[in-house]
Every structure is written in C-alpha cells, then in structure tokens.
Amino acid sequence: MTKIDIYSGFLGAGKTTLIKKMISEGYKNQQLVLIENEFGEIGIDGGFLQDAGINITEMNSGCICCSLVGDFGKALEKVISEYHPDRVIIEPSGVGKLSDVIGAVKKVVGHDVELGYAVAVADANKVKVYMKNFGEFYNNQIETASTIILSRTQGIAEKKLDTALELIREHNSTATIVTTPWDELTGEQLIIAMEGHATLAKHMEELEHEHHHHHHEHGEHCCCGHDHDHEHHHHEHGEECSCGHDHDHEHHHHEHGEECTCGYHHDHEHHHHEHGEECTCGCHDHDHHHHHADEVFTSWGRETAKKYTAEQISTVLDELDSGEYGIVLRAKGIVAGADGKWIHFDFVPGESNVRFGAADVMGRICVIGSKLDEDAVAKLFGL
C-alpha cells in the first residue's frame, strides 16, 4: 500500500524545512518518494527541472527526490509503479491550489494507493496579509487542509497569533492546528497531529470515555463540581465542539451578501466598489472567478556564473522588499561568492537570510511575485 501525503503552503512558508524534519524523524524505515512540483523555470531545491518531465536523484533516508514539470498525474503513476514506495510526499508549488493537487492525486488512488495527509504550512506572521491580498490561492490551502501547521511561531506576539488562529478558524473549523515551534516537537508528535489524534474533540472524546469508564450514572455529579448534563457536556451527533470558538451559523456561515472576513473592509469609500461591482481581493472564489497561478504570479529565474559578496546579496534582498519591483513574495538562490565561498539566500517579505553553503554546478536565482518588474529585478542582480 502506498500513501500519498501532500504538504502545501504559500510561498516561503517553510514546506521544505518541515518535510526534511518529517523524513528524518517521522517517516522512519519507510521507502519514500518526494515529488516537488515547482512554479517557474528554475528549481533550486530539486536539481534540474527538465522539459522532458521528471528528474530522479537518490537521496539519503531511503528517499528518492523527483522534481517535475509537465503531466503531474503521469509522473505520479510512474514513480509509484517504478519504486512501489511506502509513501509519496508531494510538495506542490507555493501558489498551487491544494484542492487541485488533491484532485490530481485522487485520479491515481486505487486498491493499493490512498490519500494520506493533506497539510497546509502557514507562516503565522503573514496569515492576515496573504488572506487579504491572495485569498483565492491562500484560502484554498487553508480551507482544504486537514492539518494546518504554523511556522515561525517562536517569539510571535500572543495577540498576533490569536488573530491568525481566528482568521484560520473562519476558513477551516475542523482542521488540527499546530502552533508549537517545530524544534519543540518530534516528528512522531506531528504525525499524531496529522492523523487527527491531537484535536480538542479527540481529547474530549477520550475524557468522556474515561468518564463513562468510572461508571458515572446519568445525572450524577462528578466530584470535580461540574454538572455533566447532556445539554452542556455531551455533544450529540453533528453538534459543534465547545472549544471556545463561537461556531454558530450566524457567525461562521456567510450568507449571500454578508461581509467577507478576508481582512478587507469592503466599504464604498475605501475601495470604491460601485453598486454591483465585484470585489477583487481574491477571497471570493466564485465559479466565474478562478485564476490560474500564471495569471496572478510571475516567476523570474536565471542561471549565472556571476560572483557576488554576501553584502551585495543582502542589499539586493532589502531592495526587493521596497515595493519598487512589484510584490516580491519569494526569492531564493545559490550563487558563487567573490571570496570563493558559495552564498545561499532566502527571502520572504520582511525577512531575509544570507549564509554560506555548498557549491553548486551553476549559480541559480529565482524570484516569485505579483506584478513583478522582471527587467528591474534582472538589473538589480546585475544580470
């Protein structure tokens, strides 16, 4: 039996970092295939992306890495039939819709292949801004996931985390949400969360089972002082969980014409929506309002032998955050350093990381954004 797990997440959320943790800690003694379905021309993590289809390279921990462009379904069938893995881990493009990936996976599900975990990785600091600006893509991942794992929760302000959770719960009331920093959790703990065993409902079910195990008769008062009557504490079939969120229909089921909670204030003065005009915030995913990622996001990539200093790269990344080059959502690269070291860099809005690492066969730079000024980006990198 092959299980197919999907780790989605918007650009720069930390999907690759989480997958590496899961391979080393969570999927022990399993034969794995990792499929990276990238957006754009240049693949940084997965080796070369070839127009012919897929490129397979051996990795450690019994993992085979497969980067692909082209027919996703055929590639999936090929690696399953060729390697018969215990698990296939799919890392979709950051701007991919999780529902589309699940749809593609379900086409190959059969008697010996089944869908496993559908995970969304979300940067806790950027939930509000990404819902507001890229809701059509971002919210699809949040709404479709069975487990939502928040990244970058170390040191986050409690109020900001609460706001992020509130927004996520408005779009997904049932998913297991992980807020604890990853380095405090084991891969096994994350597996438990992904299997749905770490939810409040599950804990309450166990508590209730324990309650019955102690032979509390109907109407009897527990020694804790709480009145365990059916109305308050025994959730009937279909009744909402009492986790502290107000799960009533008025609050969470937006009726026709009700205000959207994507973070925009849809008032006429602010956004000049004329009578009957449709909001373009991206959160209204109507049947006639579907965009392909190519319509909204641009990927610019270059291979280069140019040498840089770490200071130059840091300056470039700061510039990308200025708004002068469009909305830059992700930049990533490995380039030769002027002093002989190789420079590895990552960028998401408001946060960049420049470090030294292993050499590569060729320098590569990839920038992804919306309304991206490609010529200006190329000039900024001196290319």
pLDDT tens digits for 355-368?
999 998 899 998 98
Of 291 and 106, which is predicted with more confidence?
Answer: 106
* Inter-CA distances, 38 with 45, 66, 117, 301, 366, Å: 9, 11, 20, 12, 11
- pLDDT value of residue 93: 83
Tokens 């897929």 correspond to: 54
Q: Is the per-residue pLDDT at 135 higher than 60?
A: yes
Beta partners for residue 55, in sequence order = 67
- pLDDT value of residue 69: 61
| Nearest residue to 148 via CA among 169, 126, 134 | 169
> Rounded to an integer, what distance in angstroms lies between the CA atom of residue 226 and that of residue 222?
6
Give tens-digit pLDDT for 245-283: 444 443 444 433 333 333 333 333 333 333 333 333 343
User: For residue 188, what are the contacts with CB-CB under 8 A and spacing of at least 6?
Assistant: 25, 26
Classified as helix, coil or strand, 379 is: helix
Of 12 and 209, which is predicted with more confidence?
Answer: 12
- pLDDT value of residue 74: 78
Give tens-digit pLDDT for 70-126: 677 777 888 888 888 999 999 988 888 899 889 989 988 888 999 999 999 999 999
The DSSP output letter for 235 is P
Question: What domains can be seen in the chain, in order of their start residue?
Answer: 2-194 (3.40.50.300), 297-380 (3.30.1220.10)
Tokens 């000049």 correspond to: 272
With beta carbons less than 8 A apart as the criterion, state whether 36 and 68 touch.
yes
Q: Is the per-residue pLDDT at 148 higher than 90?
A: yes
Q: How confident is the model at residue 172 (pLDDT cuts 50, 70, 90)?
A: very high
Write out the H or E segment, with its range, that includes residue 270: helix 268-271
- pLDDT value of residue 75: 77
Classified as helix, coil or strand, 312 is: helix
Give tens-digit pLDDT for 188-232: 999 999 998 766 666 566 666 655 554 444 444 444 444 444 444
Give tens-digit pLDDT for 27-75: 988 999 888 876 554 444 443 334 335 666 776 667 777 776 667 777 7
| Nearest residue to 234 via CA among 203, 208, 260, 261 | 208
> Rounded to an integer, what distance in angstroms lies between the CA atom of residue 264 and that of residue 270?
9
Give tens-digit pLDDT for 237-247: 444 444 444 44
